[in-house]
Structure 1
Amino acid sequence: MHIQTAAVQTLRDHEHGAVVPPLHLASTFELDPETADGPYAYQRGSNPTRAQLERVLAVLDGAEHGFAFATGMAATAAAFSILEVGDEVILSAGVYGGTYRLVDKYFAARGLTPRFVEDLGTLTDDDLTERTRIVFVETPANPTLRITDLRRIVELAHRHGALVIVDNTFMTGVLQRPLELGADVVVQSATKFLSGHSDILAGTITTNDADLAARFALAQKALGGVLPPFDSYRLIQTIKTLPLRLERQQANAVAIAEHLREHPAIAAVHVPGSFSEEEARIHDSQATGPGAVLSFELAPELDRVAFLRALKYPAYAVSLGGVESLICHPATMTHEAMTPEAQAEAGISQELLRLSVGIEDVADLIEDLDQALAAAR
């Protein structure tokens, strides 16, 4: 079954013949008085609507198990909940700012050690120790769009008994399927492309490992950061258009990137594979497209604030993946939790802007960018 078909056809209400599955809002469920048993007991532990969504999430990622959380960071925190005192996590220096904040502010007090690496592609056997429990990967990275070779990282990590967790928010299962490349766990901020309309907060975990799945189910029940039924219901509906939306967004992003590369007011354009021919080759081998997020740097003589104020269509706002285009300044917005030194190591300059491209007509977006660049001179 192709992914567009899976997005639409995974769920049916076969009991009543409805083409849309029902929404179950109940917080609690009646149980058998003799056994206290039943398929559902309390919404935090499980809920029919969330269970339906989790089935869709698993199918989209080619996984056996799916889990829905209240936010992307709740999903990432649940993924890290498998760590024990003394464990080490290796991450890219260019990791998402929210993940950096979680690791920077909470790991030390819990006896956990993060190790940030400028380029995960340079990792060797000497870099992993018996304490290394997880290698956490974003590819493409946010917001530099740097690429990591997932097959190589998986082989390296597994050789040392470490797990590989991939944040696949930028690609989704439509464009990249890390579990099929050997990764152990995939996390996503479903707030972004999976939702696609900037009106739901959600996070996901998928895995094929039954033992890890049991621990993530426990994290849902014990930590409580689950996705409510109504948001689960709405996410089921928005996922049905995910492949179509992403196809249009990606086509727009490719056209915009090509246009900006030729513009004299742009100093640099960053897309997956633009850092080097090797990264381009790797990305082409593990993903089916560049996605719909790019970043760029203005020429030094341009006024960044004037440029942003002159834009008519992309809103100056955090987040990404919505049907509307959004632009942000990572150094002061999405990655403000990083120190200036950490930002420099991650390749996040004060000139860098991140553009999430929507489904608007690309000619209107390009015309808007051009007039704003002219206004910034």
Structure 2
Amino acid sequence: MKFGNNTKCLHLEKEDSDCKHYGSVSFPIYQTATYAHMGVGKSTGYDYSRLQNPTRQHLEEVVCRLEEGIDAFALNSGMAAISLLFEIFKPGDHILCEADLYGGSIRLFDNVSKKNGYEFSFINFSKDDFESEIRTNTKAIYIETPTNPMMNVSDISKIAKIAKKNNLLLIVDNTFLSPYFQKPLTLGADVVIHSGTKFLGGHNDTLAGFIVTNNEAVKEKLRFLIKTTGSGLAPFDAWLILRGIKTLGIRMERAQQNAIEISNWLLKQKCVTKVYYPGLESHPSYEIIKKQATGFGSMITFNVNSKENALKILEKVKIIQFAESLGGVETLITYPTSQTHADVAEEVRLRNGITPQTLRLSVGIEDVSDLIRDLEEAFNGLD
């Protein structure tokens, strides 16, 4: 039976049918570090939880099927996922990266990956002709779409064709849209990355990361690396993410509905100079995201007319909380300059469009009328 996205969040196409979990509707937490065997060569299928754990394995199967890959890897944070993935490269390898990346990714590449001998070029994949940047030692293309925080949208299928022509891996960070709205592997990507802390978990209470691939060689390398580096997700955290995924679809739909209304409200505010939301027809890549995704997500970035007004908004919101992270049921507002992108060089931030006037909203599932009233009160009296 072929399942739809919402059903895939709750059920695998082939569920266990031998009652080995005693009929439990909620998949159990196997809180164990090791496993006993009947004798030499008589494994239960599990030896040590650094290698694999039933709860983590079940979560990986769910995420793998949502992304339509051949294997998935659950790790203890989004940054752990990126770090593990980059262990497949070797010194001297060159990676083409999206310029407008999450600040933590840039920090990792600048301070760890470069130390390990990797080379990087940063390009705006939504605008620039990147094929001329490919070198003889280029091994991969790494993008976010939409990007964090400027909401640039890249054409995954177009990039995938060029990547395949040049024998490059295409890696897509799919955190902002989740597999509910976008499936990069079906568009030609080789690897998908997630911060599972965000929309997959959905409740701002658990750290997790994921790698999903449809490339057999990458799969084999990562299965070896995850057991070797010991960065697999703990059983209880795996269970929390499983619980969050059950409501992924309805959360994504509700949050997107709220984001559309808030985006249109922001456009009417005198102190707002720019709204970046791919669901607006004025967004330069509106047609691309309509082609490659089934939704626009619930992330909004906007600029106000002064740094002072940006700081006042952060201090005055009440229902909306001034906090890092995104993708939870609660609406959060973030100041990229001093939070998510604080470790990015100022000239890079400014070149990407991140200014002291830039704010980022992760819209949650509250009543949108309450969120807009909260923003109205925060905007009241601004110049």
TM range (shorter): over 0.9
Question: Paired residue for 1:34, among 28, 37, 40?
Answer: 40
Does the Cα contact within 8 Å between 1:146 and 1:273 map onto a contact in 2? no
* Partner residue, 1:161: 167
Judge conservation of contact 2:260–2:279 (CA < 8 Å) in 1: no
Q: Which residue of 2 aligns with 1:61?
A: 67
Aligned partners of 2:10 and 2:381: how far apart in 1? 44
Q: What residue in structure 1 maps to residue 10 of structure 2?
A: 8
> Which amino acid letter does the alignment assign opposite residue 205 of structure 2?
D
**1: CA distance between counterparts of 2:312 and 2:28?**
48
Question: 1:132 maps to what in 2?
Answer: 138
Amino acid paired to 1:8: L
Q: Which residue of 2 aligns with 1:265?
A: 271
Q: 1:213 aligns with which of 219, 232, 250?
A: 219
Counterpart Cα distance in 2 of 1:72 and 1:343? 22
The separation in 1 between residues aligned to 2:224 and 2:56, in whole angstroms, is 15
Deviations 1:327-368, CA, capped at 9 Å, x for gaps = 011011001110011111221111100000010000010011
CA shift for structure 1 position 157: 1.3
| SS of residue paired to 1:307 | helix
Q: Taking structure 1 as the reference length, what is the TM-score of the superposition?
A: 0.96
The residue aligned with 1:245 is 251
In structure 1, what is the equivalent of residue 316 of structure 2? 310
In structure 2, the residue matched to 1:148 is: 154
Q: C-alpha separation between the residues in 1 aligned to 2:119 and 2:356?
A: 29
> Are 2:277 and 2:299, in contact at CA under 8 Å, matched by a contact in 1?
yes
211 and 314 in structure 1: CA distance in 2 versus 1, 3 angstrom threshold: same
Change (3 A) 1:328 1:116: same
Provide the residue aligned with 1:199 in structure 2.
205
Deviation larger for 8-17 or 223-232 = 8-17
Distance 2:280 2:256 in 1: 16
Distance in 1 (CA, whole Å) between partners of 2:307 and 2:283 is: 29
Distance 1:274 1:244, change over 3 A: closer
Pairing partner for 1:46 from 29, 52, 72 = 52
Unaligned runs of 5+ in 1: none
Q: Do the aligned partners of 1:129 and 1:160 also contact (CA within 8 Å) in 2?
A: no
When the two chains are superposed, the root-mean-square deviation of aligned CA atoms in Å is 1.7
**In 2: Cα distance, 1:174 partner to 1:41 partner:** 33
The count of corresponding residues between Structure 1 and Structure 2 is 377
TM-score scaled to structure 2, two decimals?
Answer: 0.95
Aligned equivalents of 1:294, 1:152: Cα separation in 2: 25
Ranges in structure 2 where 5+ consecutive residues have no aligned partner: none
SS in 2 for 1:67: strand
Compared CA separation, residues 326 and 278, structure 1 to 2 (3 A): closer
Letter of the 1:81 partner, please give it: E
Counterpart amino acid of 1:156? I
Give the Cα separation in 2 of the matches to 1:277 and 1:293: 13
CA distance in 2, matches of 1:321, 1:301: 25
- In structure 1, C-alpha distance between the alignment counterparts of 2:73 and 2:240, rounded to whole Å: 16
Q: 1:122 to 1:300 in 2, by over 3 A?
A: same
Q: Tell me, yes or no, if the aligned pair for 1:329 and 1:352 is still in contact at 8 Å.
A: yes
Match of 1:365 in 2: 371
